[in-house]
Amino acid sequence: MFEEGKVSEIAPGVFVRHAVDNCTWAVLDDFVVIVDALEQAHLADEVLRHIRETTDKPLGYLVNTHWHGDHVACNIAFAAAGATVIAHESAAPDKSGKGDGRPDITFGTSLSIRGGGRAAELHHMGGTHTPGDIALFFPWAKVLGVGDLFGWGLIPLTQITDESVANLKQIMQRLLDFDAEVIVPGHGPTVTSAHLQRFMEYFQTLLQEVPAARRAGKSPEQIQAEMPRPDDMLDWWRFDWKHPHNVEQIARQCA
């Protein structure tokens, strides 16, 4: 159940503050790992209070799944509260010292953070939503954070090309291979692998049908009108505007 600002423990030691901009934190044995830092800096105190209600362990790390404004706004506050900021090396080329919200640590391919018996695994999944997308896996909890690689039906690509589509398919398969029980997207309710699979089927269908309709002389607006949301996706979060947006994007880019 999605309720803005509500915190729930989605697996042992893994909490999500559900919101338009999700914030996840995992309690390792020695410290806390936070995933993403929202779009509104003024929410930092509230999120830190929520974290304090679930654990008294120190803040260890803040991982930004990618370097977009709606994922990094509380970086300065979380860093001031003790978190070391981690992002992909492509995300912040002007990396500098501690405390200014920019990454203290960057990495290329993967990074494992051990806090006693529990670990957080960070994997670079870039070249899809942004060059620096990171997925985080918490193996003991079987929770996977995917940032905006899954956008509740929103196509995560800015440019739809054969190459970017092939890359997205590969990334999605890598995400499925974690065999996670709960997947936390950057925005909206948590999902399961079935949602990722359904999205890729849906995307594939659009990639066939929308360019075909364009070639038959239909305008993007006509195609939107004639192609409603699939019945089984009607309850997808904010999909009422994402679906027509997707149709329009393919119509304009893949004519």
What whole-number distance in Å separates Cα of residue 206 and Cα of residue 212?
10
* Distance in Å, CB of 33 to Zn ion, minimum: 19
Which residue, 168 or 227, is less far from Zn ion as judged by CB?
168
Size of the site for Zn ion (CB under 5 A): 3
Binding mask 226-255 for Zn ion (x = CB under 5 A): ------------------------------
Binding mask 112-151 for Zn ion (x = CB under 5 A): ------------------------------------x---
Using DSSP bridges, classify how beta strands 118-124 and 32-35 pair: parallel, antiparallel or unpaired. unpaired
What whole-number distance in Å separates Cα of residue 113 and Cα of residue 62?
11
Which residue, 16 or 27, is less far from Zn ion as judged by CB?
16
Which residue, 21 or 104, is less far from Zn ion as judged by CB?
21
* Distance in Å, CB of 8 to Zn ion, minimum: 20
What whole-number distance in Å separates Cα of residue 47 and Cα of residue 211?
44
156 interacts with Zn ion by CB under 5 A:
no
The CA-based angle 143-172-105, given to 5 degrees, is: 60
* Long-range Cβ contact pairs of 229-234 (< 8 A, separation 24 or more): 230/202, 232/198, 233/153, 233/198, 233/202
70 interacts with Zn ion by CB under 5 A:
yes
Q: Counting beta carbons within 10 angstroms of the beta carbon of residue 161, is it exposed (0 to 12), middle (13 to 18) or buried (19 or more)? A: exposed
* Distance in Å, CB of 148 to Zn ion, minimum: 4
121's tokens: 């695994």
* Distance in Å, CB of 66 to Zn ion, minimum: 7
Q: What is the SS3 assignment for 184?
A: strand
Segment lying near Zn ion (by CB under 5 A), choices 66-74, 87-95, 128-136, 204-212: 66-74
Question: Torsion-angle region of residue 201: left (phi > 0), alpha (psi -120 to 50) or beta?
Answer: alpha
* Distance in Å, CB of 81 to Zn ion, minimum: 22
Which residue, 186 or 244, is less far from Zn ion as judged by CB?
186
Which residue, 171 or 251, is less far from Zn ion as judged by CB?
171
Which residue, 71 or 124, is less far from Zn ion as judged by CB?
71
Binding mask 169-188 for Zn ion (x = CB under 5 A): -----------------x--
What whole-number distance in Å separates Cα of residue 192 and Cα of residue 183?
5
Applying CB under 5 A, the residues found at the interface with Zn ion are 70, 148, 186
